[in-house]
Structure 1
Amino acid sequence: MTRVLILGGTSEARALARLLAAEPGVEAVSSLAGRVADPLLPPGRSRVGGFGGADGLAVWLGEERVDAVVDATHPFAARITASAAAASARAGVPLLVVRRPGWEPGAGDRWTGAASLEEAAGAVPGLGERVFLTTGRQGLAAFADLDRPWFLVRTVEPPGPPLPPRAAVLCERGPFTVEGERELMLRHRIDLLVTKDSGGAMTAAKLVAARALGLPVLMVRRPPLPEGVRTVPDAAAAAGWVLEAAAR
């Protein structure tokens, strides 16, 4: 029996858990950070909560006799990915990182890049006055000092303070439709979309809607991966890697 830890919380992680659940020689354990009150649980065994950093994860890998780790977390979960890389190296357990392809601008797009949320916040005043902010609830503090623009903040869970002083909060979970995103932007008179390069189809409709409306997009680039980690683009490739490891 090959035991695999899936660091999850994404659609790729759930898809990988489903694929491995059909393999009799593989036991997958899905780990979720616990930041969402009602997470979508994958099939098979799950655990919720942290490990206590890289040291705690390395100990857990040894105690649970884990044979492989698949990091299928969000592309912006840089701290978890760094801990996974360090812990896997200490425990001598192979690591694979699943990273869906990022979004690419197309004809008609008006994108401006930013290296961080803080850099994006600094660029907002020069780009728009009514901002659709879809960067997640944990990074909103970067925008809290902007008192002139108005923000429509969309998150899955209700965000805590600090928030921009002129903001309305919309709690919704994707996937979203192009028509729905277009109507939302028109209703709130949005003139700037701020988002992170999460990639994937679940939340890409806002980019299509912004293009159709001729709106600028402020795109926060992904953090770099730890040096030397192996990556694949999707759950199917990750399942193939796990099955190859099981065969060996």
Structure 2
Amino acid sequence: MHVLILGGTTEGRRLAGLLAGDESLRVTSSLAGRVAAPRLPPGEVRVGGFGGAEGLAAWLAEHHVDALIDATHPFAGTISFNAAKAAATAHVPLLALRRPGWVAGAGDDWHPVGSLAEAARALPALGERVFLTTGRLGLAAFAGPDRADLAALWFLVRSVDAPEPPYPARMEVLLDRGPFTLDGERELLRTHRIDVVVTKDSGGAATAPKLVAAREAGVPVVVVRRPARPEGVTGVATPEEAVAWVRGRVRARRG
């Protein structure tokens, strides 16, 4: 049974590891290729896009894929819609592995927004020294002549790879990769005198300590809500649940 994991996430790597070594399975992980030196999961790995839903459907058929698991990042919306369309076209069962989003708790000062552009518009009223943790893509929302309202703000941008312009004029780049510790995030906020944090609602534990550090320091957090996802797709929250789904399909094939 050939399982294709659309990965690039902690959950995708863990799922590939849990399925590795099972002689009844062939597991291929597909990575988008947006990170220069990604952490590779166990098993077969392919890197790069498929050419839209049609290309993915053709790949599923050509490589005799029996089950497709979408374990992409919660903000990688396009590939999820392509996966749903390709799975329907190729008649391949599809499972979505989605880590739960973060939930505000007592003492949190969160400001939910629908996009990076909305996050940029919210910043001037919240602070002047911004910890921008939305990755290297999308920095144009915080830059350019139409963002004169942000000219007085200073940005600390954390990403795995160095960003490319356009990006904020007053900016320091911190190249780092999670998971991050609470002590480290506390020190980062203190050292850089951060007074507002911007994050996407990525969920998971690897990057959550910044939220706790912000709560302790009384720092507001602008949280970009997750984009829409395809409807009607079976979903689970953990790699272990995804393994159970795969095992169920193996048993069904055996009759």
- TM-score band w.r.t. shorter chain: over 0.9
Gaps in structure 1 of 5+ consecutive residues: none
Matched ranges for 1:1-248 at <5 A: 2-144=1-143, 145=147, 146-248=150-252
TM-score, structure 1 as length reference: 0.98
Secondary structure of residue in 1 paired with 2:14: helix
SS at 1:152's partner residue? strand
Measure the CA separation in 1 of the matches of 2:105 and 2:229. Answer: 25
- Structure 2: which 5+ residue stretches go unaligned? none
CA distance in 2 between partners of 1:93 and 1:105 (Å): 37
1:191 shift after superposition: 0.3
Amino acid at match of 1:177: T
Deviations 1:34-91 (A, max 9, x none): 1111111111100011111111000000000100100001000001111111111111
Partner AA of 2:139 in structure 1: L
- Superposed structure 1 runs of 4+ greater than 6 Å apart: none
The number of residue pairs the alignment matches comes to 247
CA distance in 2, matches of 1:97, 1:148: 42
1:104-144 superposed Cα distances (whole Å, 9 cap, x missing partner):
11111100100111111111111111000000111111111
2:193 is paired with a residue whose SS is: coil
Amino acid at match of 1:229: V
- Deviation (angstroms), 1:159: 0.5
2:34 aligned counterpart, secondary structure? coil
TM-score for both structures, normalised by structure 2: 0.95
Tell me how far 1:22 sits from its aligned partner.
2.9
Identical positions, percent: 62
Distance of 2:103 and 2:159 partners within structure 1: 23
Cα offset, 1:227, TM superposition: 1.3
User: What is the Cα deviation at residue 223 of structure 1?
Assistant: 0.7
SS of 1:70's equivalent in the other structure is: strand
Deviating more after overlay: 138-147 vs 194-203: 138-147
Counterpart amino acid of 1:220?
V
Counterpart secondary structure, 2:138:
helix
SS at 1:237 equivalent: helix
